[in-house]
Structure 1
């Protein structure tokens, strides 16, 4: 199958053994190429069995690991106790992965969890926001700032909280360390996520963004400029845009 819908991929994946699933993912990953097959990745997350999800989350292949990471969100929604802690540890490691598609998979897991269990999502994102690693903080910010989730009041508040905390982390990095790839990746996420969070909750978000604009930190100023360039925020700041 090529170009299949999410539902069609789900049906095909359900009838396969684990080894056949891995082979299908490899064949239809879309890589190497400009775009990975995100429809297949999402379908895998819908139906994959837990042992295979755990196995792929630690795989050396970037696409397979991204599929495993994203699928962890569904498992987290049904987990509790030691199993929950273990799954969170696995996902946190993927949020700090050196491969960007795997990190995106970790952020997708947060978004999948958010659709199923907002309270658990708040707990996970806050845990990540307290992590000292910029890439883990970045995953918290990117995961929380998913427009599809922000109709839920506690997740709207979480998005603003994540942006504010992520900016605090960026600001606290010594000037000599600001150009490291991990810090740059966090800055890049903040460069668009603020606009998503503010647009979802203008009443509180515009005030928070106005305070951000008064910050004299050079990287925070860059974050402000990048978000001002996003139309969803520009129309709030200037309705005539």
Structure 2
């Protein structure tokens, strides 16, 4: 039994003995925060438990955690772990929900995707990675909306979610990732210099600088066609994105000749 499964059993036993109200203190104490890495195994285990055993009381508790503000739980604080877990939990339970509740969960994700706390933004990507296998079309529709909204953090959420190799095993999803990426590249190329000084834009560039390589590796012919098209753009940020992706081992080692032509 792995650590994640052990955590699920521990959570189940604790709730049976002490009630769901004991979760807050337990999760915060075991969060790994402050520190360089949150307890990802515990967060995943809590989401697993939530999806399997949620009741009205637990739903209300976890929903309240999503309203914990950056002021109440700044980046790196143990209390930040509560909304971090909550977002993943709602991603895990999404596939069991009715359409109205599904819409509410996606509305929540749309808000948190622009949260000033980087860990909270990451929780949205993790949550949507749970949704995608069972409701891929819902996720892609959401992403089309996010790309239309036109904010760097939405763009970043799109590519961060899809840049998961397991998700890219689905050919249709890989093609969709490339299509969305091209729309984002086009948005980037149209941004004025002043807008590119925003830290959110730099976060987007960092995300794009690795995500494309995942998409290209999943669909090489279409992917390299996209890279070839954009490699000639005289835009320093676009050039950086293309160059950094070409240098990733998943492309440079698997397709050295194709990469050499573009570098």
TM surpasses 0.5 = yes
Write the deviation string for residues 75-129 of structure 1: whole angstroms up to 9, x where unpaired.
3222343222211111111111000000000011111111222222222222222
**Which residue number in structure 1 is paired with residue 77 of structure 2?**
none
Which ranges in structure 1 are unaligned for 5 or more consecutive residues?
A: none
Q: C-alpha distance in 2, partners of 1:152/1:189? A: 21
Whether the aligned pair in 1 keeps the contact of 2:205 and 2:241 (CA below 8 Å) is yes
Which ranges in structure 2 are unaligned for 5 or more consecutive residues?
A: 74-79
**Which residue number in structure 1 is paired with residue 121 of structure 2?**
103
Write the deviation string for residues 4-61 of structure 1: whole angstroms up to 9, x where unpaired.
7110111112232332111111011111111111001111111223333322222233
Give the 3 Å change call, closer, same or farther, for CA 52–158 of structure 1 in structure 2: farther
Q: Which region of structure 1 is more displaced relative to structure 2, 45-54 or 32-41?
A: 45-54
**Which residue number in structure 2 is paired with residue 36 of structure 1?**
38
Q: Which region of structure 1 is more displaced relative to structure 2, 190-199 or 66-75?
A: 66-75
Give the 3 Å change call, closer, same or farther, for CA 89–238 of structure 1 in structure 2: same
Matched, 1:70 2:88: yes
Larger radius of gyration: 2
Q: Which runs of 4+ in 1 moved over 4 A?
A: none
Measure how far apart 1:170 and its partner are.
1.9
Matched, 1:55 2:64: yes
Give the 3 Å change call, closer, same or farther, for CA 80–134 of structure 1 in structure 2: farther
Give the 3 Å change call, closer, same or farther, for CA 156–83 of structure 1 in structure 2: same
**Which residue number in structure 1 is paired with residue 137 of structure 2?**
119
Give the 3 Å change call, closer, same or farther, for CA 67–213 of structure 1 in structure 2: same
TM-score, L = length of structure 2: 0.84
Q: C-alpha distance in 1, partners of 2:36/2:182? A: 32
**Which residue number in structure 2 is paired with residue 206 of structure 1?**
224
CA RMSD of aligned residues (A): 1.9
TM-score, L = length of structure 1: 0.92
Give the 3 Å change call, closer, same or farther, for CA 168–58 of structure 1 in structure 2: farther
* Secondary structure at the counterpart of residue 178 of structure 1: helix
